């Protein structure tokens, strides 16, 4: 069961401006990475459904962080309603997918769970919004036009909230470009979690990266 309301989840994502995207089959490694992100200021974290028994890892993480009021844990790479239901029952507070699936949207609406589907066109964004989606994941962000796509959509659809994922880099120039174009928040994966850093267990590097990204988001929003 979800610990946080849909409104709490959406507000937190927008307020912080960044959602890390990560998967590892080892519960301890995944928990370590989550804690490193929380230490850097992250409040919403997406664990992706990428490997065999990924939901079992998620269950363990959900139980481990159940009493941590700083963290909102969600599930990503969700393609179908059955998988969405499995993760919601396991404690997912939000569901993210690479595609828009109307049945997943309806399921999430029934359970008052935030759903961020992957959209690559204005038509898909509009369809998602008709299904009750508040934040659309723009995926893959770099392939659909980059920050310019976000800015162009905002012209005729200023009410739209978009979260680019895929092609978002952990650099000030890139983060600033997305935010200034109008992105509500950004999703970052491998750029935050280099393989050598994960292997070495140097969590301070992750915390430092997260802190910098959140600072860049804040600066970009201030117009500086």
What CA–CA distance (Å, rounded) separates 178 from 49?
26
The DSSP secondary structure of 10-28, one letter per residue, reads HHHHHHH-EEEEE--S-HH
pLDDT at residue number 224:
66
The greatest distance separating any two alpha carbons of the chain, rounded to the nearest whole angstrom, comes to 47
123-141 confidence digits (pLDDT tens): 999 999 999 999 999 999 9
What CA–CA distance (Å, rounded) separates 137 from 28?
28
Q: Is the peptide bond before 66 cis (omega within 30 degrees of 0)?
A: no
What CA–CA distance (Å, rounded) separates 17 from 212?
12
Residues whose CB is less than 8 angstroms from the CB of residue 79 and which lie 6 or more positions away in sequence, other chains included: 97, 98, 99, 101, 104
pLDDT at residue number 223:
85
pLDDT at residue number 1:
79
94-127 confidence digits (pLDDT tens): 999 999 999 999 999 999 999 999 999 999 999 9
Angle at Cα 141 formed by Cα 117 and Cα 85, nearest 5°?
20
Reading the chain (224 residues) residue by residue, the pLDDT tens digits are 789 999 999 999 999 999 999 999 999 999 999 999 999 999 999 999 998 999 999 999 999 999 999 999 999 999 999 999 999 999 999 999 999 999 999 999 999 999 999 999 999 999 999 999 999 999 999 889 999 999 999 999 999 999 999 989 999 999 999 999 999 999 999 899 999 999 999 999 999 999 999 999 999 999 86
Cα–Cα distance list, 103 to 29, 84, 100, 205 (Å): 33, 10, 9, 39
Which CATH code is given to the segment(s) 6-222? Answer: 3.20.20.70
Residues in the chain: 224
Cα–Cα distance list, 21 to 123, 155, 187, 200 (Å): 25, 28, 6, 19
What is the distance between the terminal CA atoms of the chain, rounded to a whole angstrom? 41
What CA–CA distance (Å, rounded) separates 165 from 169?
10
96: nearest Cα among 110, 79, 116, 81:
116
């Amino acid at each position: 069961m979800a610990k946080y309301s849909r409104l709490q989840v959406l507000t937190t994502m927008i307020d912080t401006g960044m959602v890390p995207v990560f998967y590892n089959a080892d519960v301890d490694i995944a928990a370590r990475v989550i804690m490193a992100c929380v230490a850097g200021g992250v409040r919403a974290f997406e664990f992706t459904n990428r490997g065999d028994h990924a939901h079992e890892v998620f269950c363990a993480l959900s139980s481990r962080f159940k009493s941590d009021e700083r963290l909102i844990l969600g599930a990503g790479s969700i393609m179908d309603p059955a998988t969405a239901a499995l993760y919601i029952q396991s404690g997912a507070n939000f569901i993210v997918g690479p595609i828009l699936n109307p049945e997943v949207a309806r399921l999430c609406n029934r359970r008052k769970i935030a759903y961020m589907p992957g959209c690559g066109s204005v038509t898909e964004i509009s369809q998602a919004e008709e299904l009750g989606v508040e934040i659309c994941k723009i995926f893959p962000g770099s392939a659909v036009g980059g920050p310019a796509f976000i800015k162009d959509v905002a012209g005729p659809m200023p009410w739209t909230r978009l979260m680019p994922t895929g092609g978002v880099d952990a650099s000030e120039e890139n983060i600033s470009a997305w935010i200034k174009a109008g992105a509500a928040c950004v999703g970052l994966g491998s750029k935050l979690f280099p393989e050598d850093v994960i292997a070495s267990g140097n969590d301070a590097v992750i915390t430092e990266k997260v802190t910098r990204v959140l600072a860049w988001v804040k600066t970009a929003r201030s117009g500086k």
